[in-house]
Amino acid sequence: MHNRNRPSTPRYLISPRYLAGPDPAAVTTADDVLLAAGWKATREPCHTDYRDPSGQRHARHLHSRAEHPGKPLMAWEFTASPCPTTRVTWTAWFSHDTPPEITAAFAAAVADDTPGPTPEDGPRYLLLSQSPHKATEALATAGWIRDIGHQDDSWYSPNEQAVVITATVPTTTGKSGANWLCAARRAADAMVLWVALASPATPTHLMAALCRALTDPTPVPRHTLPDPEVGALTITPCP
């Protein structure tokens, strides 16, 4: 839910951002990004729906952590479809504790109305997915460690507390493809801090935006400090 009573000045700047944790008073949120892009918000007691002017892109923000007991605590869901009444082409989800800057960066890429490379390509948010390597270039540049497994291609942050597992496409035998998976874990006990998922058809440039957000070295503002057990952080008090 959009927080209209945010404290004016964060107290700390924290990096890496994938360990900075949530912040109810975050400076930038997906809500801000979508509203600034002209999306219409419909606020309900348990969730807020956002729809772009064309009706082809949709986002839902679940306010409560307890809406789906026993399932991942997803807070944001993004979808796109060729027409408002047709089946969605792709879906992406972000858990409640995902650092808001990461979700906001993905939302900004989804809301970007820049046309595709050619008129025949249609909107960029409906482009066919390409090689996952095009999405993970930012990880390689940032020194993340690539681990090629039998069924997936994983990238680990230098401190091994964050991971990106690339999607796999459906096979000709009818086996469905695996989702993209992004997650971070606590250093003390490897407990998962947050998770993001995206279906295999999610356009490559959207996943590239997510990877850039994960590796962005710019410290993010926080009003409170994460738990010390999260791991090694660089913390700078705000002036």
pLDDT tens column, 16-34: 999 999 998 898 899 999 9
Q: Which amino acid is at 230?
A: V
Query: Are the CB atoms for 111 and 34 separated by under 8 Å?
Result: yes
Above 90 in pLDDT, residue 235?
A: yes
Q: Is the pLDDT of residue 188 over 90?
A: yes
Residue 6 falls within a domain, yes or no?
no
pTM of the predicted structure, to 2 decimals: 0.91
Read off the pLDDT of residues 123-162 as tens digits, 9 standing for 90 and up. Answer: 999 998 888 999 999 999 999 999 987 566 999 999 999 9
* pLDDT on residue 122: 81
Whether 62 is covered by a domain: the verdict is yes
Domains in the chain, number: 1
> Would you say residue 5 lies in a domain?
no
Identify the domain containing residue 103 by its residue range: 12-114+121-237
Neighbours of 238 (CB within 10 A): 12
Tell me whether residue 16 is in a domain: yes
* Spatial distance between the Cα atoms of 72 and 97, rounded to a whole number of angstroms: 11
Residue 91 forms part of a structural domain: yes
